[in-house]
Amino acid sequence: MSSNNYEIPHIIVALDYNKENKALDMAKILDPSLCILKVGLELYVSCGPKIVNALHKLGYKIFLDLKFHDIKNTVIKSSLVAADLGVWMINVHSSGGVEMMSGVANTIKENNYSTLVTGVTVLTSLDNDDIKTIGYSNNTKDQVMKMAALCYDSGLNGIVCSAHEAKNIKNEIKDNFICVCPGIRRTEDNKDDQKRIMTPAMAANNGADYIVVGRPITNSKNPLKSLIKIKKEFNNTL
């Protein structure tokens, strides 16, 4: 666990909505001292930057999960726009290459933004069969390790990966390199469209710095209670 991040909540709640009022209603149920909020493509395309501003006013740190993947110049400019919103974290697809990733990392630093930049390795909705279908010869574990090394060499702050790979990454890459891990499910939760999943406690044991949880919290009868339960399970294992 990164010592300089100890005051920041390590649970990231995904606001997977397409309406501003639904996202804000959930944000008001939850607590900014207990979680960070993730704004993804669906919500951002629907609402634009105003949803980020509205969530900031409620006191939340924001992970803007837009997974930038384009030519270097476009991704750099888009990342600067995102950082200017004051978001805590953004991400880029590591398959965009070292030049693109290092360009983003360097530009964010040169412009004195504190926004963290992470690289998406292999989506947690993909398994070994899926990545072979799209042309990778490695299994998911080896492919994630390869992409993680590229992210590190590019100067990114960390990666987005399954908690299954976090332990190996922590063993190979020291240097305060953070692992943001989606695909988190308690034993009683529905797997939904996730394939490489892990419980909060197992993710903590494997070295996850932050876990991303969406539907097990936002679709529960008592989202705040579910958040507290997941946070306790994760933190008590650290």
- Complete domains list, the chain, with CATH: 3-235 (3.20.20.70)
Please report the pLDDT score of residue 26 as a whole number.
98
Q: Is 132 a catalytic residue?
A: no
CB 205 within 8 A of CB 199: no
Q: Is 221 exposed, middle or buried (CB count within 10 Å of its CB: 0-12, 13-18, 19+)?
A: exposed
> Is the whole model's pTM more than 0.85, yes or no?
yes
Those residues with Cβ within 8 angstroms of residue 14's Cβ, 6 or more apart along the chain or in another chain: 38, 40, 65, 182, 212, 213, 214, 215, 218
User: What is the rounded CA–CA span in Å between residue 85 and residue 193?
Assistant: 30
Please report the pLDDT score of residue 13 as a whole number.
98
Helix (H, G, I), strand (E, B) or coil at 70: coil
- The residues facing 158 across adjacent strands are 118, 178
User: What is the rounded CA–CA span in Å between residue 204 and residue 200?
Assistant: 6
Q: Which of 67, 72, 132, 229 is catalytic?
A: 67
CB 202 within 8 A of CB 238: no
* Average pLDDT per consecutive 10 residues, the chain (238 residues; last block may be shorter): 56 97 98 98 98 98 97 98 98 95 98 97 78 79 89 96 90 90 79 68 95 95 97 84
